[in-house]
Homo-oligomer: A and B are copies of this chain.
Amino acid sequence: MTPAQLSELFARVRKNHPLVHHITNYVTVNDCANITICAGGAPIMADAIEEVAEMTGIVGALVLNIGTLNHVQIESMIAAGRKANELEIPIILDPVGAGATRFRTDTARRLLEELEITILKGNVGEIGVLAGADGKVRGVDSAGLTGDPVEIAKAFAIRAGLTVVVSGATDIVTDGRRALLVENGHKMMGGISGTGCMAASVTGAFAAESGDTVMAAAAALAAFGIAGERAAAVARGPYSFKVALFDELAGLKPDDLNSAAKIRSV
């Protein structure tokens, strides 16, 4: 993976405006819609069982987020996910709060079992729980993990047959064979609600334009992280940071990934 490949992928997202279908929580859904646009994609939010499969049939990626889960939504996730699998559309799963309640843990596991998830993106606590490692979750925030997160993520990626993204100060992206660390970002991203959800949306837009899911996820996280770095430089506090985060991602040029992405293999 070369810097030029990252830029080319980002340029494709910006040119093709891939549709990203979200079945997501009602807390950060507006942020997810807007960040998808800023990345270059086009968001669709639809969760009614009557239409999710049809909607998934026309998109480039499907993002499933269990942040405000309910039993109606689960069935829609399964229906949309089956359609995505049938059409080989990448699915990004964000298991928000897995480990915090049985309902979330069980639902995340069910989605992993019944669907072929392409990219599983969570914080270290959520991934730890789902990987069967000793993940600790405090509400919907991670409270750490016992063990080396890179090794846990690699082993889980191979066992589950997907790409695992562990978000954090340094993001880990691995399909079990390759493992990349993405060191872009800023701590202010943790000072607002929704940056984790937004990262999944951006990842969806990139995954829609590349069959190399490890590269797509790393490129998406780098782009989002660079926007965060630039936003932090102009922010007066968390919400002006949020405003700037959208502005900066929208203003980011594909070529900026060449110079500013901090991605390394481990």
A247 interface neighbour in B46, B141, B237, Cβ under 8 Å: B237
A47 interface neighbour in B33, B70, B101, B245, Cβ under 8 Å: B70
CB neighbours (8 Å) of A247 from chain B are 236-240
Residue of B nearest to A239 (CB): B246
Interface of A is mostly: mixed
Instruction: List the number of copies, as a whole number.
Output: 3
Q: Does A34 contact B (CB under 8 A)?
A: yes
Interface readout for A5-26 with B: 1 if CB under 8 Å, 0 if not? Answer: 0000000000000010000011
Residue of B nearest to A32 (CB): B27
In the complex, A19→B244 CA distance in Å? 27
CB distance A251 to B239 under 8 Å?
no
Interface size on A, residues (CB 8 A): 59
CB neighbours (8 Å) of A251 from chain B are 236-237
A58 interface neighbour in B19, B139, B193, B237, Cβ under 8 Å: B139
In the complex, A141→B42 CA distance in Å? 9
Q: Which 3 A-B pairs have the closest CB atoms?
A: A237-B247, A239-B246, A33-B193
Q: Does A115 contact B (CB under 8 A)?
A: no
Q: Does A51 contact B (CB under 8 A)?
A: yes
In the complex, A139→B239 CA distance in Å? 29
Q: Does A28 contact B (CB under 8 A)?
A: yes
CB distance B51 to A103 under 8 Å?
yes
In the complex, A251→B58 CA distance in Å? 41
Residue of B nearest to A34 (CB): B193
Distance in angstroms from A236 CB to nearest chain B CB is 5
CB distance A100 to B238 under 8 Å?
no
CB distance B37 to A193 under 8 Å?
yes
A44 interface neighbour in B34, B46, B139, B248, Cβ under 8 Å: B139
List A34-54 residues whose CB lies under 8 Å from chain B. Answer: 34, 37-38, 42-48, 50-51, 54
In the complex, A38→B141 CA distance in Å? 16
CB distance B238 to A193 under 8 Å?
no
Interface centre among A31, A48, A100, A248, by most chain B C-beta atoms within 10 angstroms, is A48
CB distance B51 to A27 under 8 Å?
no
CB neighbours (8 Å) of A243 from chain B are 239-240, 243
Residue of B nearest to A52 (CB): B101
Residue of B nearest to A50 (CB): B103
In the complex, A153→B48 CA distance in Å? 29
Q: Does A104 contact B (CB under 8 A)?
A: yes
